[in-house]
Chains A and B, each alone.
Chain A
Amino acid sequence: MLTLLLILLPIAAGIITLLSGERLAKQIALVGGLASLGVAIFTWLQFDPAAGSQFGFKYAWLASGGISFAAGIDGISLLLVLLTTFLTPLIILSAFKNEYKNPAAFYSLILFMEAALIGVFTATDAFLFYLFFEAALIPVYFLSAIWGGEDRIKVTFKFFIYTIFGSLFMFVALVYLYYQTPGAHTSEISAFYQLQLGAKAQGFLFWAFFIAFAIKMPLFPFHTWQPDTYTQSPTPATMLLSGIMLKMGVYGLIRLLLPIVPLGMAQWGFLAMILAVIGIIYGSIIAIQQSDMKTLIAYSSFAHVGLMAAGVFSSSLNGLQGALIQMLAHGINVIGLFFIVDIIYSRTKTRYLDQLGGITQSTPHLSVYFMILLLGSVALPLTNGFVGEFLLLSSVFQYKAWLGAVAGLTIILGSVYMLRLFQKSMFGPKSKWVEGFQDLTASERAVLLPLVIMVFWIGIYPSTFLKITEPAVNQLLQLVNN
């Protein structure tokens, strides 16, 4: 029942926020977000990693069709639910300093988004998964298209059509799988795991799933919607997209693609791996060229997600564990970085590196926070990025040594673009744009401090989180290897 509460609480909070009027909207939204976090932490405390899917519920939805409204939490779900509920209040808080027109709608859309994301991460019925997978798109589309930048309409429209296009293929795949289940059909994901499908069918299904998730993450060459959308969206929407929504794609790979089509993986996994590795290098190289800070981080995110996907495609314990911990780490880092860009933008009205410089001189706090998040992102040991990247690279290395070597360039290239970002914006002579730059306010610190704490927590003692997911990942790998 806790799962149901986790899904319904943000919806309820969203509706209250919507009705609360202009003035109280953000406070109520924040309370709603924190309440969800509270429930998630409570769930975590109750959680038994060895026990498989827990706290579940199941209601008949289309009784005669064996389709049910069913969700539950296992280790993999819990980690992502924790990520979602941890980041959402911070995203809401980060929006406090900006004035958005019609704030009630703005904050309620963030909460609806949270509900849909939790739904994706907990659904145990394939059609419920699909429903949330699509439903998550609608709030963020409206967030970006109403409150976004100048080009928002065109850019978000492309984003919307692109992602729907992908997930419709997954829909056909799910319908097909549903009809393969024996007896009176069922759409439980665990029933899909038991299917013995031919290699040819699995090949098609592999691509149907792959395209859906690859567009969502995005992987090379399906990424063209991403930088523009990230850049044009208002920062909270960018945070939702990069921090949490792209994890839906990685989660889908782990939850559906790997265990359902192992033979498809055997046929096409190598090609998918190559695409993922190309994405890592390609994203990094483009990131080095960027002068818009938001676009730069967007490309860095594209590179990082490539590495996560590569880890998943290696279908090893290290790869999956690495992808999971990296999802957590990346969510934290990228949200922090986007927030810092937003802080800089709101004070200087520019995001271009050539126009910035010398911010460190007046901002000790900002510099420290920025540096820590940045080092987390370039995977310095003892920060959160290191754990994930280490596991991921080792898994890719085991898969094919030369691929591991190529993917390993990410550490070097990552340092290049990230340190360049820091150097150009923070160091050097003070540009005219940064005159009178104020250091962080209390509410900004309230957002950044939890993020930085998490950077160190995951970096120094990752097993808190690794042990949540390990039994679930092992179970999954058993399915894959059988």
Chain B
Amino acid sequence: MYPIILLSVFGVVTLFLGFSKSKNILLPATLLFLILALGSNFIEWGKGPFIYFYDMLRVDNLTLAFNGIILLSAFMIFAISGGFQDNADAEPAEYYGLMLFSLVGAIMMIGFDHLIMLFIGVEILSVAMYVLTGSNKRNLRSNEAALKYLLMGAFATGFMLFGMTLLYGATGSFKLEAIQGFASNMPAASQSYIFYAGLLLLLIGMLFKVSAAPFHFWTPDVYEGAPTIFTTFMSTIVKTAGFAALFRLLNNTLAIYGFWWIVIAAIAVLTMLVGNIGATSQGSFKRMLAYSGISHAGYLLIAVTALTKPSQNAIVFYSLAYSLSTISAFGVLMLVAKEKSIEGQPNERYEAFNGLAKQNPLLAFVLAVSMLSLAGIPLTAGFWGKFFIFTSAAERGIIWIAVFAVLMSTVGIYYYFRVIISSYFREGDTVKIRVAPFYQIILVLATFLTILFGLAPGIFEKLI
């Protein structure tokens, strides 16, 4: 609740700060805002659950944990954005303002207790993302990506709204509580097909946002076309918020688990397949990360499919592990791509990383740890993420999906290791890349947390 208010106010303040002559205060100010929002988020920790805004928003420890993850991710992403000082066309105040607003949307999605709140949250988040995707105005790819994202996103929103309407028609309410009540009291003889159809349509809209197959077609192009910093934002924050919302919705319709689990399971399998197989054939590291984002949506969907007691922890932990590694991977990518740029265009191919370890051992190490974590190798947070996911599936007794995920993880190792191989074992023209101290701190922090959670996942367990 507090972060929503604070972030809305700060977003407006940030826009006004854009009028100020000195561009240097913008970044420190927004970082301060985020720290305040992050701090205020935990005021309500352990006291909940609270219900706000006429029973439309719920605050409990789970939503606070998700908020914490997205605010922490946002802090890291803002910090490595470096104030957009190297881009003369950039409008930093607007970007920061939009990102702050989109965080508000994300927090609404995470805590929604009313479908309208979900819808508003999704729209606030998405509209800001459409704009940011196209923020590199003079770049054709960026424009294309924004248009694609907008059109596809609009369709998805349409489905979502239609679904909500049908749910309303069936239950007579937008409230999650009412939907839950309806689902659990539905007599087997007179099943409400309107309800089922509504739920499915709503799921389609949400699965689109987390880029699950077969609603993933926008992902590679949009991730690749958008400026990398906003790709990072999309692939961490949007995904975390989307999964929090999905988990919330399905957790409240647990009574009809038998109806939807097979749908989600099929989508999980398809998503893992598309993401992993797609990622193997990419020549561009950035595009590979887009497909890897799809595959991780697939793994997360396993936890949603199982929806057992460990699922909740699994989703929180996995989102955190995934966000940390994704931020460091994109962070290193931005530096390398800029350094190796060809005719002003950033070089995002694997070859750009050749010989990275020689001159930039820190960057190579950060990248290697993030790849190991994404691949789920032990001693990294990603391993425990997968562990929790598999245990949630085992608890439900759907081992076959874990076996499939394991096969797909092996495929994952193939493409994640390509960049490690490039940076450690291949020769390339090595230039020492200058990294701003603050940037360095963020990368080291993300790596440190990845290893810390990899060694001692119990720390995290005590937090939740």
Contacts and interface: CB of A to CB of B under 8 A. Distances in A.
Main secondary structure of the interface of B (DSSP, over half): helix
Given A134-B378, A153-B425, A179-B391, A61 B456 contact: yes
Interface string B378-405: 1100010001001100110001001100
A157 B461 CA distance: 35
B424 A145 contact: yes
Nearest to B406: A168
Contacts of B372: 138
Contacts of A138: 372, 377, 379
A62 B313 CA distance: 12
Interface stretch (A37-45, A170-178, A338-346): A170-178
B409 interface: yes
A185 B222 CA distance: 44
B148 interface: no
B421 interface: yes
Contact of A161 (B399, B402, B413): B413
B216 interface: no
B359 interface: no
Nearest to A208: B403
A142 B424 contact: yes
Given A62-B457, A138-B377, A179-B395, A164 B424 contact: no
Contact of B402 (A130, A152, A175): A175
Contact of B410 (A64, A65, A168): A168
Contacts of B426: 153
A161 B378 contact: no
B414 interface: yes
Interface string A108-142: 00000000000000000001001100110010001
Contacts of A317: none
B425 A146 contact: yes
A62 B417 contact: no
A64 B379 CA distance: 20
Contacts of B425: 145-146, 152-153
A130 B378 contact: yes
B410 A164 contact: yes
B312 to A, nearest CB: 13
Contacts of A157: 417, 421
A175 B410 CA distance: 17
Nearest to A204: B399
Contacts of A152: 425
B390 A171 contact: yes
Contacts, number: 69
B398 to A, nearest CB: 11
Nearest to B396: A179
B424 A146 contact: yes
B458 interface: yes
Interface string A148-169: 0000110001001100110011
Interface in B394-449: 394-395, 399, 402-403, 406, 409-410, 413-414, 417, 421, 424-426
Contacts of A172: 390, 399, 402-403, 406
A282 to B, nearest CB: 26
B410 A178 contact: no
Interface residues of A, number: 30
A175 B391 contact: yes
Contacts of B402: 172, 175
A195 interface: no
B399 to A, nearest CB: 6
A145 to B, nearest CB: 5
A160 B421 CA distance: 12
B373 to A, nearest CB: 13
A64 B461 contact: yes
A405 interface: no
Contact of B378 (A61, A131, A160): A131
Nearest to B400: A172
Contacts of B410: 161, 164-165, 168
Given A146-B424, A161-B410, A135 B379 contact: yes
Contact of A60 (B394, B399, B458): B458
Interface in A23-62: 60-62
B421 A145 contact: yes
A63 interface: yes
A169 B387 CA distance: 13
B406 A135 contact: no
A193 to B, nearest CB: 19
A62 B461 contact: yes
Interface in B252-302: none
Contacts of B414: 161
Contacts of B394: 175-176, 178-179
A145 B426 CA distance: 10
A64 B402 CA distance: 22
A347 to B, nearest CB: 28
A142 B424 CA distance: 9
Contacts of A175: 387, 390-391, 394, 402
Interface in A50-82: 60-65
Contacts of A164: 377, 410, 413
A168 B379 CA distance: 15
A63 B391 contact: no
Contacts of B457: 61-62
Contacts of B458: 60-63
Interface string B333-375: 0000000000000000000000000000000000000001000
Given A62-B457, A135-B379, A171 B406 contact: yes
Contact of A135 (B378, B391, B424): B378
Contacts of A64: 461
Q: Which of A65, A142, A145 has the most CB of B within 10 A?
A: A65
B378 A169 contact: no
Contacts of A146: 424-425
B103 to A, nearest CB: 31
Contacts of A134: 377-378
B205 to A, nearest CB: 33
A160 B414 CA distance: 9
Interface in A416-461: none
Contact of A63 (B378, B387, B461): B461
B445 to A, nearest CB: 21
Nearest to A179: B394
Interface in B77-99: none
A287 to B, nearest CB: 30
A145 B422 CA distance: 11
Interface in B314-333: none
Contacts of B424: 142, 145-146
A179 B398 CA distance: 12
Contacts of B377: 134, 138, 164
A376 to B, nearest CB: 36
B461 A131 contact: no
B51 to A, nearest CB: 28
Contacts of B391: 65, 175, 178-179
A146 B425 CA distance: 6
Given A62-B461, A134-B377, A172-B390, 15 more contacts: A62-B458, A131-B383, A138-B372, A138-B377, A145-B424, A161-B417, A164-B377, A168-B406, A168-B410, A172-B399, A172-B402, A175-B390, A175-B394, A176-B394, A178-B391
Interface of B: 372, 377-379, 383, 387, 390-391, 394-395, 399, 402-403, 406, 409-410, 413-414, 417, 421, 424-426, 456-458, 461
5 contacts: A62-B461, A153-B425, A172-B390, A172-B403, A179-B391
> Which 7 A-B pairs give the minimum distances between C-beta atoms?
A168-B406, A134-B378, A165-B410, A131-B378, A179-B394, A175-B390, A175-B394
Interface of A: 60-65, 127, 130-131, 134-135, 138, 142, 145-146, 152-153, 157, 160-161, 164-165, 168-169, 171-172, 175-176, 178-179
